[in-house]
Structures are given as C-alpha cells and as structure tokens.
Structure 1
Amino acid sequence: MSSARQTSEAQRGVRSKTLPLPDPANATRGVAEANALDAELLQSMMDSLKADIFGKVDSLSSSLCSEITSVRKELKESIGPLQAKVDQHGQTVLELERAATDHSGRVTELEATVSRLTAQAKHVDDWCEDLEGRSRRNNIRLVGISEGLEGPRPTEFITKLLQEILRLDEKPLLDRAHRTLRDRPREGDAPRHSS
C-alpha cells in the first residue's frame, strides 16, 4: 500500500508541476484590476477620513464659536461697570484739576496780599517805634522827690519845681505829671520816680 500511495503522490506532484503557468498579460490585467480596486478602496477610505476630520473640525469650530461668544458676552457685561467707574473717576479727576487750578490762583493772590501786608506791617512797626522814641524824648524823669510832696495836683507842683531848679522866667508847659506805676513804697524805702 505504501507503494500505491507513493505512486499517487508522485502523480499528483507531477500534475502540480505540469499545471500551466499564468499568462503574463492576464497577470498584468489582474494586477491592474487589483490596483484599481485598492485605489478605489483607498480613495473611499480617504474620503471617509476626510469627512470625519471635517465633521470634527466643524463641531469643534461651532463649539469654539459658542464659547467665544459667551466669553465676549461675559466680558461686555464685566466691562460695563468698569467703564462706568472709569468714567466716574475721570469726572472726579477733572473736578479735582479744576479745584487745584482755582486754589492755585487763590494761593497766588493770597501770597501777593501777604507780601503787601507784611511790607505794610513792617512800615507800621517802624513808624510806631519812631513815634515811641520821639515821645520818650519829651519825657523827663525826676528821681528822689519824696512821696506826697506833689499834693493833689502833681502837674502844677512839677511845673513850679522845674521853674525854680532850672531858673526859668516862665513856667514850662507840661501835659501831665505822675508817679511811676508801682506800689507806694513803705516808709524808709526809696520814693517812686516822677515823670
């Protein structure tokens, strides 16, 4: 049996060896058809992939547009109060600038007035000092006149005293005569000055 098997296998092998070879023209046509099928399949896959990509891009684009719209709306709502505050602060700054300009003008006027009044006060001060000096020139201070000698009329007493001491022909003209403004001295103390 083994020989019969070997014989049938040998015949088969011969047969497989004797099969006709494919025709090169048919092979080229088959390859071209296979290539055409592959190209169509590849084209349909690319179209499908392209449609998927465009669909995803469109959905992302519409999603992004809606997000941008909502963000713009939120920004507009947020900017409104801020713009109102900025406008309010701008108005306040303008008012402060006007007030500062007004105060600057007033300060300038006041500085001029103070300068003028300072000059006048100095002039009045100098004038008063001159008057005090001149008024002191006409005062006479008498020292050593006992208390109570002047009596009830000190001006007449001093007039007579000066006429006698200075040996004047006429009595000198006096506006007034008085003791200095101190307390009356006790007995034995030096008398107050007379003017």
Structure 2
Amino acid sequence: MAANLRKYKFEASSSPKPSAASVKSLSDPAPSAHAPASQATKAPKASSSIMDPETIKADILASLRQDFSAIIKGEMREALRDNFESLKTQIEDVKTEIKNKTAALRAEVDQVKANVRSVEDHMSTMSDEMIQAQGQVSDLQAEVKRLKEKCEDMEGRMRRGNISVGGE
C-alpha cells in the first residue's frame, strides 16, 4: 500500500513546475514519425503529470480499498481455514468416539442376546418339565381319587361284617 502512495509526489507550490520532458512535449505536440516509440510513450504530457487533489484522493481510496479487501480476504481465508481444520478435527474426534461407543454397545447387545437365548432355552426346558409335572399331578390326582373310593368301599365292607341282627 505504501508503494502505491509513493507514486504521487506532493508539491508545495500551487503551480506545478513542468519538467524538461514535459516542456519538450508541449513544444512538440506530436512525436515525429522518426522518433522511437519508447521515447514517445515515456514523455508525459503536462496535463497527465498534473493531477488534481480529487483524482489523487480517488486513486488513494481505490488503492486502500483494494489493499483492505486483499487483507480482509486473506484474514478471512486464514480464519476459515483454521475453523475448518478445527471443525474437521472435532468431527474426527466425534466419529472416533461414536465408533468406540458403538462397539461397546454392540458388545453389550451381543451379551444381552446371549443372556436372552440362555433364558429362552431355560424357559423351554422348564416349560417341558412343567408340562410333564402337570401330567404326573393329573395321574396322581386320579390315583388318589381311585384310592379314596377303594378305601370307602373297604370301610363299608368292614362295617357290614360288624352288623349283627339280633333277635334273640
């Protein structure tokens, strides 16, 4: 930015002093056809070497705007790059944490599945044993009923033998 400002020379006098080259160009308004092109382009015109303050201000403001724009863009890019790298690192950390926790959860789920299978197998065995026990209980109930009936029949037969018919 400072280099851009150096191209403007401040002259303290109110009327600028034309240089020798500008005086030559004023006296010779058009470069001759025999003059080299570089000499014709190097000789500044008097009107172009004298700039009014508004033009200088406009040029300085434009230069400052460009410089500020470049600085801000650079800083924004750097900040975004830093933020992007930070976000990228955080995302990777979160992904790693999720993978670790997912693996732990899978292990726990597998353990729970194994426990459920074990309980299912045990329940199936217990169910089979219970059905068998219910069959035995019904058989025993039927046998108890039969034995009660047999016992009553035997008691009734014993009592008949104790009856005496008296008439004497």
Q: TM-score range by the shorter chain?
A: 0.5 to 0.7
> 1:57 and 1:37 mapped to 2: Cα distance?
30
- Counterpart in the other structure of 1:131: 161
Deviation digits for residues 138-169 of structure 1 (CA, Å, limit 9, x no counterpart) = 7x8xxxxxxxxxxxxxxxxxxxxxxxxxxxxx
Q: Alpha-carbon deviation of 1:51?
A: 0.8
Task: Give the TM-score, by structure 2 length.
Answer: 0.57
> 1:43 and 1:92 mapped to 2: Cα distance?
71
Q: Which amino acid aligns with 1:129?
A: R
Aligned residues: 121
> Do structure 1's residue 122 and structure 2's residue 165 form an aligned pair?
no
Q: Alpha-carbon deviation of 1:81?
A: 4.2
> Do structure 1's residue 87 and structure 2's residue 87 form an aligned pair?
no
Q: Give % identity.
A: 14
> 2:157 and 2:122 mapped to 1: Cα distance?
51
Identify which of structures 1 and 2 has the higher relative contact order when contacts are C-alpha pairs closer than 8 Å and 6+ apart: 2
Q: Alpha-carbon deviation of 1:50?
A: 0.9
Q: Alpha-carbon deviation of 1:109?
A: 2.6
Q: Secondary structure at the match of 1:71?
A: helix
- Counterpart in the other structure of 1:33: 63
Q: Which amino acid aligns with 1:46?
A: M
- Counterpart in the other structure of 1:99: 129
Q: Alpha-carbon deviation of 1:96?
A: 0.7
Q: Secondary structure at the match of 2:79?
A: helix
Q: Structure 1: 5+ residue runs without aligned partners?
A: 1-15, 141-195
Q: Alpha-carbon deviation of 1:55?
A: 0.7
> 2:61 and 2:137 mapped to 1: Cα distance?
105
Which of residues 52, 55, 65 in structure 1 aligns to 2:82?
52
Q: Structure 2: 5+ residue runs without aligned partners?
A: 1-11, 15-51
Matches within 5 A, 1:1-195: 23-133=53-163, 136-137=164-165
Task: Give the TM-score, by structure 1 length.
Answer: 0.51
Across the aligned residues of Structure 1 and Structure 2, the Cα RMSD in angstroms comes to: 3.0
